[in-house]
């Protein structure tokens, strides 16, 4: 039996028997190893796992799973909840209030709600989603144009200002999506039932309805309260299959919407929208939540289709309010200009990779130059790293009553209208929109700005918690890979070492300065690199390296790597298939 196989069996055994201590003879017997050579190998591997902090030493030559490895998955998730002060449950009073809502639509509502129940309508969401807060409808008009409806769950019909649910929703400001759980902004009955645009159910919506010609030019638009009845619920995979000709379900509607979305997208980028693309890190887990592998989801045409029509609706709502002669206070989603000093650093840095970023010219020209550079690096080893440092040069998008426009999207007016089930700013927008559509007076700007600031802060907190949750699951996954060698690239450098991101699973760990034993290295901050004092060896961002997984600290959510040049290990790492995306996942 191979040494690596025995090591994995030992690790699995201690993970399964995490509270007990065993000597090497007991472990060998449990694994069915009877020969002395096999027992000696077990003893050697136990010492290795002790040095790697997977095991800890107990009395009389016994070993036990290290304390840092012993946290169960629920405890790790609870730690994140506690660290970021996320609520563990919804207040009982709010849950009771949610149970009292009726889904029945009263006849008198049809006097002010436009009826879309007979118009072909569907939702597209992730496979695992239950809260469907947006739907699309489409029908041909007599003049040859297309009527597109962007229908958004009418959450504020149910959740009234200063009600018990509203106070809790404002406090939370956003839903938080951890790897192992969701912390919803609204009670589950509202999220997944009453407000969710489920198929074959009549639902109240707040809608933007557009008349588009064959070139996706908006000829007319209106904002209305509506009633819809979704014909089907599609996952992104299913929608992509229709686009790819693998399914005939709502084929004509889907293909026409996709054709229009492509034109909208092309025009948006032509007008200066920046084309950042990202991969979503996902985990395949067993029934207990243990991660078995890591894979990535990328945006396909089905994602782009939804994105373009949501962007169109958000922009249209913002323009409706913001382009009035004397615009009333409103909630905008704003994105400031990039930090030009940081962009200059990016421009200088990427030259060492043979790439170019011209930062001269106006806003639109700069956006085009950034897009040109992002296209240029596509498919290269340094793509993710350069994209990341470019994103860090950008301002963060926030909520504000001061409309400075959205630089990244190249929109003069933009807001968030399309996700009221999971974002409180969208609920604020729905209420303000209703107020102003009905001729109501201006809302207090200072009060609105305070709410915007709170929502922006809670959004950042949620993003930090979500990143911590992913990191925690990555460390748990890599804990089973101790001693294995992986190919990666330098993703960061600092005075205490360099960070390496493994290519096949995007898990990142630290190679500490103390573990760079061939020389004493200095940190060259200006040029993003480490330089050896004596041998002048250089490690810089993007460099390919091979690392051995040395330690996995669950408490700190930290991985420690060491560099290796062992030819046999490198050959094995290069031959191992990627755990990345499959065709089915790439949607």
pLDDT value at residue 1 = 63
pLDDT in tens, 398-419: 999 999 999 999 999 999 999 9
Which range, 448-462, 517-531, 549-563, has the best average confidence (pLDDT)? Answer: 448-462
> Is 133 within 8 Å of 420 (Cβ atoms)?
yes
| Domains present along the chain, CATH in parentheses | 3-70+479-575 (2.40.50.140), 77-320+431-437+456-472 (no CATH)
> Is 109 within 8 Å of 204 (Cβ atoms)?
yes
pLDDT in tens, 225-243: 999 999 999 999 999 999 9
Going through 154-230 in order, the beta strands assigned E by DSSP cover 176-177, 182-183, 202-212, 218-229
pLDDT value at residue 510 = 96
> Is 134 within 8 Å of 226 (Cβ atoms)?
no
* DSSP string covering 351-407: GGGT------S-HHHHHHHHHHHHHHHTTSTTHHHHHHHHHHTSPPPEEESS---BT
Between 157 and 8, the more confident residue is 157
User: HSE on the CB side for 302, CA within 13 Å?
Assistant: 25
> Is 417 within 8 Å of 143 (Cβ atoms)?
no
d(C-alpha 371, C-alpha 368), whole Å: 5
By the 10 Å C-beta count (0-12 exposed, 13-18 middle, 19+ buried), 19 is classed as exposed
Beta-bridged to residue 204, according to DSSP, are 227
pLDDT in tens, 186-218: 999 999 999 999 999 999 999 999 999 999 999
pLDDT value at residue 569 = 83
Write down the pTM of the prediction: 0.85
pLDDT of residue 17 exceeding 70, the answer is: yes
- For tokens 């159910």, the residue is 201
Query: Residue 399's closest CA among 305, 324, 314, 289?
Result: 314
Between 36 and 156, the more confident residue is 156
pLDDT in tens, 107-136: 999 899 999 999 999 999 999 888 999 999
Token pair recorded at residue 294: 């890591």
């Amino acid at each position: 039996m191979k040494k690596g196989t025995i090591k994995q069996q030992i690790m699995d055994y201690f993970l399964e028997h995490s509270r007990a201590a065993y000597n090497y003879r007991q472990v060998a017997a449990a694994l069915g190893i009877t020969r002395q050579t096999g027992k000696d190998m077990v003893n050697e591997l136990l010492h290795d796992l002790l040095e790697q902090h997977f095991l800890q030493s107990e009395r009389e030559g016994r070993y036990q799973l290290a304390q840092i490895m012993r946290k169960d998955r629920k405890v790790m998730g609870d730690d994140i909840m506690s660290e970021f002060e996320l609520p563990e449950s919804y207040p009982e009073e709010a849950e009771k209030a949610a149970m009292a809502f009726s889904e029945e639509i009263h006849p008198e509502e049809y006097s002010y709600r436009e009826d879309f129940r007979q118009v072909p309508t569907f939702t597209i969401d992730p496979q695992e989603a239950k809260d469907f807060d947006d739907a699309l409808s489409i029908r041909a008009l007599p003049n040859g144009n297309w009527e597109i409806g962007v229908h958004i769950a009418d959450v504020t019909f149910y959740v009234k200002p200063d009600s018990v649910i509203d106070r809790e929703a404002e406090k939370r400001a956003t839903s938080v999506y951890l790897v192992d759980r969701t912390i919803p902004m609204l009670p589950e009955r509202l999220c997944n039932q009453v407000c969710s645009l489920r198929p074959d159910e009549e639902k109240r919506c707040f809608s933007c309805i557009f008349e588009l010609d064959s070139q996706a030019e908006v000829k007319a638009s209106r904002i209305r309260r509506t009633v819809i009845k979704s014909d089907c619920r599609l996952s992104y995979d299913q929608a992509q299959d229709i686009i790819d000709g693998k399914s005939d379900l709502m084929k004509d509607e889907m293909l026409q919407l996709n054709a229009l979305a492509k034109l909208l997208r092309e025009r948006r980028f032509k007008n200066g929208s920046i084309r950042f693309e990202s991969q979503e890190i996902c985990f395949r887990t067993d029934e207990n939540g243990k991660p078995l592998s890591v894979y990535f989801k990328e945006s396909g045409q089905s994602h782009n289709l939804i994105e373009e029509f949501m962007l169109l609706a958000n922009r249209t709502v913002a323009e409706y309010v913001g382009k009035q002669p004397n615009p009333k206070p409103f909630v905008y989603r704003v994105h400031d200009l990039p930090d030009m000093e940081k962009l200059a650093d990016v421009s200088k840095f990427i030259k060492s990779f043979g790439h170019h970023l011209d930062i001269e010219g106006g806003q639109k020209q700069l956006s085009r130059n950034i897009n040109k550079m992002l296209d240029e690096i596509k498919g290269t080893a340094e793509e993710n790293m350069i994209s990341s440092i470019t994103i860090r040069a950008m301002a963060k998008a926030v909520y504000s009553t001061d409309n400075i426009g959205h630089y990244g999207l190249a929109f003069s007016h933009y807001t968030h209208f399309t996700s009221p089930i999971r974002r409180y700013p969208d609920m604020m927008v729905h209420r303000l929109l209703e107020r102003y559509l009905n001729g109501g007076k201006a809302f207090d700007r200072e009060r609105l700005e305070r709410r915007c600031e709170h929502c922006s802060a809670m959004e950042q907190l949620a993003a930090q918690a979500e990143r911590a949750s992913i990191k925690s699951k990555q460390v748990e996954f890599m804990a089973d890979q101790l001693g294995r060698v992986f190919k990666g690239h330098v993703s960061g450098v600092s005075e205490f070492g360099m960070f390496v991101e493994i290519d096949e699973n995007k898990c990142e760990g630290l190679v500490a300065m103390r573990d760079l034993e061939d020389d004493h290295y200095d940190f060259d901050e200006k040029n993003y690199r480490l330089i050896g004092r004596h041998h002048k060896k250089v490690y810089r961002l993007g460099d390919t390296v091979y690392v051995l997984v040395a330690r996995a600290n669950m408490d700190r959510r930290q991985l420690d790597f060491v560099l290796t040049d062992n030819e046999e290990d490198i050959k094995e790492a290069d031959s191992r298939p990627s755990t990345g995306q499959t065709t089915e996942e790439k949607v």
